[in-house]
Each structure stands twice: as C-alpha cells, then as structure tokens.
Structure 1
Amino acid sequence: MLALLLTPGLIIVAAFFLIPMALVAMRVANGPDGFATYFIILTNGRYFASLMQTLVMSAGVTVTALVLCGICGLFLVRNRFAGRNVITALLTLPLSFPGTVVGFMVIMLAGRQGVIGSVTDALFGDKLVFAYNIAGLFIGYLYFSIPRVILAVMASAEKLDPQLEEAARSLGAPTWRVIKDVILPGLMPGLISSGAICFATAMGAFGTAFTLATDIDVLPMVIYTEFTRNANVAVAAALSIALGLLTWAVLTAVRCFAGNTATSGTGGGA
C-alpha cells in the first residue's frame, strides 16, 4: 500500500528531475572536453562572474523582499483601515504576471521612454535610464518576489500571540527587544520558507532577464546564449547543472537551518 502511494511521487521525480538531469549530464560528458567542462566554467572569467553576479543579486533581492514584506505584512495584519484589502490585492497582483510582462513594466518605468526618464529629463535635463542593466533586473525580480513573501509573512503574522508582546512590554522590554525576541521568532517560519522560494526563483528566472537583456549577464541569460547562439551545448549543460546544484544546496541549507530553529525553539523550558 505504501509503495502504491509513493508511485505518483516517484514518477514525477523521475520524469521531471532525474531523467532530464541525467540527459543534461550526458551532454556534458559527451562534449569535447568531457567532465573537464565543469572546471572550465569555474575558471572562465565570464562564466564565474556571471555565477557570482546571479548569486549576489538573488541574495540581495531575497533580503530586500524579506525586509519590505516583513514590515508591510505585519502592518497589514495588525491594522484595519479603509483600502486595506485593495492594498493587499495590489501587492499580490504580480503573481498573475509572467516574467516578460514584469520586464515590460520595468521598461515602462525606467526605460528610455519610461516615466522616471521623462520626469528626470523635465527636471534636470538628463534622462535616468536603468531598466536595461542589473538595477532594472533587480527591480523586476523584487516586484516578482513581493507577492510570494507578503502572503507567507501575513500568514505567520496572523498566528502571533499579542499577549506575548504585552507580557514582554509589561516586564520593561523596549520595542527593539520585543521585535527581536517575540515578533521575529514568530515570523521566522514564514520568512525562511518565502525567502527560500524567492531566492530560488531569482536564481533561475529567465523571462524578465530576456525582456530587459541588453547589458545583463546573469546565468540564465548566459546559458541561453551558449545554447542558442554559440551552439555550445556542453557548456550550457554544465552551467545548468551548476545553477541547479547551487540553488539546491542553498535550499537544503535553509531547510536544515529551519529545522534546527524549530527544534531549538520548542526545546526550551519555562
């Protein structure tokens, strides 16, 4: 019975992960440099710089989204006011947009004919254009990540017990200690899970980068270029595996940290 229940999951894992990854790995092994291709992508300056840029940008997007959504999500849960539901709906609206639409919106905001460029041109006589570089991609990924984080944070914030905060304040704890010792631990499960999803999405997102790509050298774009324009299938496959393994390693570390946090949080005495 147990094997029968596990069968659908095993089929999905095999069909959508194990078999495709094995075929990609075979592309690397059958390439002109064989398994040395992995060494090449780590020693080649362009590939390594692209990997580091993707990693740093994804981490930056994740931290920014967690800070913004942590503050905003807690405020929306704790306060009831006219237009609250509208604001919540607008914050989650990007869930319905594909990456290409997000990229187009960034162009409308900060492109050559965008709103920011028109305003700065009128005020200072010089257009501020950043849609087509890493700053524009950062804004696009952040916009794309906010709904995923805000929903998880709001779900965690609704479970917070206000009496714990009142008890901390009654014992003389300042606001920063209440936030550090009561609110943040309560929000931590939502922050960790949504942060992991945010990071993984930013690492592999392609549509937004493709829409904005004029001076952006993130890893998904490098993989696309090597595969379609340079016909360098072995390098593209090696970069794909490196991207997948790096993302998987970060997610695994996050799960271990989350498990250790939960264990330490439930193991204390009164």
Structure 2
Amino acid sequence: MPNHRFNIVLLLPLAVFVLAFLILPLGQLSVTAGSGEQGLMAFVSILTEERYRTSLFVTMLLALATTLATLITSTIAAQTLAGRRFPGRSLVVALLTFPLAFPGVVVGFMIILLGGRLGLVGTLTKATIGTNVVFAYSIVGLFIGYLYFSIPRVILTLMAAAEKLDPSLVEAARSLGAGPFMIQRDVVLPALYPALFSAGALSFATAMGAFGTAFTLATSIDVFPMVIYTEFTLATNASMAAALSIVLGLVTWAALALARSGSSQVPAAG
C-alpha cells in the first residue's frame, strides 16, 4: 500500500500536466472547430478548398525536403565528428549546435541578412553579375531557414548513436573486403536506423509547425502555420483556425507515430 500511494504521488504532476495542457486545450480546440458556420464540414473544406489544400501540400513537401536534407547532412557530419578526435573538435560541435539558442524569428532575420534585398548574396551578385539575387522570401529561403533550425537538433541525436556503434563491426567488415560504401550500407546505417527514424520525425514535425521563421520569411507563401495565423487574426475565423490546428497536429502526430513504429521494427545490425 505505501508503494501504491508513492506511485500515485509520482504520477500526480504528470496527470495535472496532461489534464491542464493536453486534454482540456484539445477538448476546447475541438469544440471551437465544430462551432463555426460550417460545423464539422470545416475539416472537409481543408481538403476541398484550394487555398487550404495547397498550403497543406506545400508545407508537407517542404517538411519532407527539409527532413531528407537534414538527415543526409547530419548523418555525414555526425559520423565524422563521432569517429574522429582532432584539435578544435569541441569548438566545431559547439558552433554546429549554436543555432539551438536562436528562436525562429532570429533565424528568419539571419536568412534575410543572407539572401534578402540588401543581403550578402544580393550585394555580391550585384557587384559580380549585375543582378541582385534575392531568395530569402521564397520557398528557398524557408528551406534554408528550416535546415538551419533542424540540423543542430538532429546532429546531436545522430552523434550519440554513432558514438555507441561498435568499431569492431566496422573492422570485421573491412577485414572481409567490404569497401566504404558497403560498410555504410550493411553496418553503419542499419545501426543508426532507430536514431534516423526518431531524428527524422523530429525534423519533420519541427518543419511542419515552425511559425517564427515562416512569419519572418513567408511574405508570399501560405505555409500551414501562417494560414492558421491569418485565419485567427485577420479573418477572425476561430473555428477554421482550430480545425486547421487539429489537422496540423494530426499530421505531425502521425509522423511521430510512424517513426516510433519504424524504429521499433528495425532489426539490429550484425
């Protein structure tokens, strides 16, 4: 009995958190989504109305592209940093993870300084080829901003997984005549699959819901978080904003659930 009471005490903070910050807000969000003129048809209109459907499609493609580029870049960097010790390594890791300290608005502002109308790239291209190249306010600018935001988060996860990889497996494969690409395919990547799944899901969810960067850069792009913002503030359509929020939450939740399922089904390397 004492242990039972102690377990209840331990679970009480979690129960309060789930009730106050998950169940009640989600319940109110669901009520608000169904309280508009369209009722529950608001969810159907997300797929039938071109603006909402296109925004969801573009946002998902952008999140997938960001995830793929982040995983490729971070996998290479994580293996390099995990398997080598060299002077300045700690500084390199610190610099790679430094963007974790920046909110999305700051990341967006940095992209403007890089590729905005008065940015570094535009100044250089104006001086060299006579054309001011501006990409900060396009899908390219958002993509670079999301990469900047995602890589530090993913690289830490993959570095931790790469450091746990048994070097004897790589040496055994090399002694049997396996080349670098075969070692990657048959030894290293299978060992990293669980971390790749979880890190990829985190990157996708972050890109789907990123608001600060989109708010700064998406002046002509209707990514999903910006559509939710405009529906709630400019159109004062709280019910549609709530329906869009629920759909966004379901998409990111499905990605996280798929990643958990995929990582649990990956066989161990060896």
Q: Say whether 1:81 aligns with 2:76.
A: no
Q: Name the residue aligned to 2:33.
A: 28
Aligned pairs for 1:79-228 within 5 A = 79-228=84-233
**Structure 1 residue ranges (4+ consecutive) displaced by more than 3 angstroms after TM superposition:** none
Contact 2:194 2:264 in 1 (8 A): no
Letter in 2 for 1:97: F
CA displacement at 1:30 relative to structure 2:
1.1
CA displacement at 1:4 relative to structure 2:
3.2
The gaps in structure 1 that reach 5 residues or longer are: none
**CA deviation map 1:81-138 (0-9, x unaligned):** 2222211111000000000000000000000010110111111100110100111011
CA displacement at 1:174 relative to structure 2:
2.2
CA displacement at 1:27 relative to structure 2:
0.8
Larger deviation: 113-122 or 184-193? 184-193
Letter in 1 for 2:183: V
Q: 1:245 aligns with which of 246, 250, 267?
A: 250
Q: Say whether 1:48 aligns with 2:50.
A: no
Kindly tell me the number of residue pairs found equivalent between the two proteins. 265
The gaps in structure 2 that reach 5 residues or longer are: none
Q: 2:268 aligns with which of 250, 254, 265?
A: 265
Cα distance in 2 for partners of 1:222, 1:29 equals 18
CA displacement at 1:163 relative to structure 2:
1.1
CA displacement at 1:232 relative to structure 2:
1.1
Q: Name the residue aligned to 1:7.
A: 12
Task: Please provide the CA RMSD for this pair.
Answer: 1.3
Letter in 2 for 1:225: T
Cα distance in 2 for partners of 1:27, 1:133 equals 33
CA displacement at 1:189 relative to structure 2:
2.4
Letter in 1 for 2:268: G
**CA deviation map 1:160-179 (0-9, x unaligned):** 11111111111122221110
Partner secondary structure for residue 265 of structure 1: coil
Contact 2:198 2:256 in 1 (8 A): no
Larger deviation: 203-212 or 73-82? 73-82
Contact 2:191 2:268 in 1 (8 A): no
Cα distance in 2 for partners of 1:11, 1:185 equals 39
Letter in 2 for 1:228: T
Identity over the aligned pairs, expressed in percent? 53
Partner secondary structure for residue 141 of structure 1: helix
Letter in 2 for 1:215: S
Q: Say whether 1:70 aligns with 2:70.
A: no
Cα distance in 1 for partners of 2:113, 2:49 equals 35
Cα distance in 1 for partners of 2:9, 2:44 equals 42
CA displacement at 1:196 relative to structure 2:
1.4
Letter in 2 for 1:259: S
Letter in 1 for 2:185: K
CA displacement at 1:265 relative to structure 2:
2.3
